[in-house]
């Protein structure tokens, strides 16, 4: 299936063959019109510039039209968002580096918990995925699998919160545009939010309520 046409830019085939004068044929090589595969896929796009003049950006060497299309989309995204992330940076490497930077700022107990979640859960589950390719549906699927496997809601929540914290740092570092955990993580389990009062606090609450009711009924 041919990928959807990008809003801006164009995809074409070009090659490195040269004319007699030494200049490249580019997209005009006669062999590109033949049936046998020749050259590679390329994209060209005009990026806006401050002086209003056309600033073309071209890249070639893609094996398929789809690969050229994906690279064009990335170029447009980077241009729009100012991101400068490495598209090959795997989560294993990113999370390890993030942990290293957190060691100095976190309380030791918090750091140990983050480190254990990163090593035992996040790297085995997401480590091979590129940071830029982590999607909410992958996080949702991981959560569902963990819960189905008998993992406690609170633990799954905490591991997810650790991932969210790491990805939030990636957003601030302009490595990714958005934190996919925002759209994927289930809310904190209700038991975590339940307020437990001691008898003195409970009595104070009841007294307060009584006072409020008394005022209201006057």
CB of 162 to Zn ion, least distance (A): 52
H/E run at residue 97: helix 91-102
Rounded Cα distance between 145 and 185, Å, is 13
Query: Is the CB of 24 or the CB of 110 nearer to Zn ion?
Result: 24
CB of 33 to Zn ion, least distance (A): 10
Query: Is the CB of 17 or the CB of 44 nearer to Zn ion?
Result: 17
SS3 letters for 135-203? CHHHHHHHHHHHHHCCCCHHHHHHHHHHHHHHHHHHHHCCCCCCCHHHHCCCCCCHHHHCCCCCHHHHH
Q: Which residues fall within 8 angstroms of residue 63, CB to CB, at 6 or more apart?
A: 40, 41
Q: Number of residues in contact with Zn ion, rule: CB under 5 A? A: 4
Query: Is the CB of 31 or the CB of 110 nearer to Zn ion?
Result: 31
Q: Which residues fall within 8 angstroms of residue 126, CB to CB, at 6 or more apart?
A: 91, 95, 134, 138, 142, 163
Does 118 sit near Zn ion (CB under 5 A)?
no
Does 27 sit near Zn ion (CB under 5 A)?
no
Which of 5, 18, 28, 31 is close enough to bind Zn ion by CB under 5 A?
31
- Binding segment (CB under 5 A) for Zn ion, from list 25-33, 111-119, 134-142, 180-188: 25-33
Query: Is the CB of 17 or the CB of 93 nearer to Zn ion?
Result: 17
Rounded Cα distance between 160 and 173, Å, is 20
Query: Is the CB of 17 or the CB of 138 nearer to Zn ion?
Result: 17
Which of 3, 6, 12, 17 is close enough to bind Zn ion by CB under 5 A?
17
Does 15 sit near Zn ion (CB under 5 A)?
yes
CB of 17 to Zn ion, least distance (A): 3
- Residues in touch with Zn ion (CB under 5 A): 15, 17, 29, 31
């Amino acid at each position: 299936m041919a990928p959807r046409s990008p809003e801006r830019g164009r995809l074409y085939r070009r090659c490195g063959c040269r004319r007699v004068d030494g200049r490249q044929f580019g997209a005009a090589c006669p062999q590109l019109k033949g049936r046998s595969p020749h050259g590679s896929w390329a994209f060209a796009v005009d990026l806006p510039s401050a002086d209003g003049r056309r600033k073309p950006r071209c890249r070639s060497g893609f094996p398929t039209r789809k690969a050229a299309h994906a690279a064009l989309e990335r170029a447009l995204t980077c241009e729009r968002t100012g991101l400068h992330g490495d598209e090959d940076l795997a989560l294993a490497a990113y999370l390890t580096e993030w942990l290293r930077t957190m060691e100095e700022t976190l309380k030791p107990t918090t750091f140990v918990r983050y480190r254990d979640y990163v090593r035992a859960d996040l790297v085995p589950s997401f480590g091979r995925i590129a940071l830029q390719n982590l999607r909410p549906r992958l996080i949702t699927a991981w959560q569902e699998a963990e819960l189905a496997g008998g993992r406690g809601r609170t633990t799954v929540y905490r591991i997810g919160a650790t991932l969210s914290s790491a990805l939030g740092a990636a957003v601030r570092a302009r490595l990714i545009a958005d934190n996919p955990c925002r759209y994927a993580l289930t809310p904190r389990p209700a038991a975590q939010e339940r307020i437990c009062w001691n008898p003195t606090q409970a009595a104070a609450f009841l007294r307060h309520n009584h006072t409020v009711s008394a005022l209201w009924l006057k």
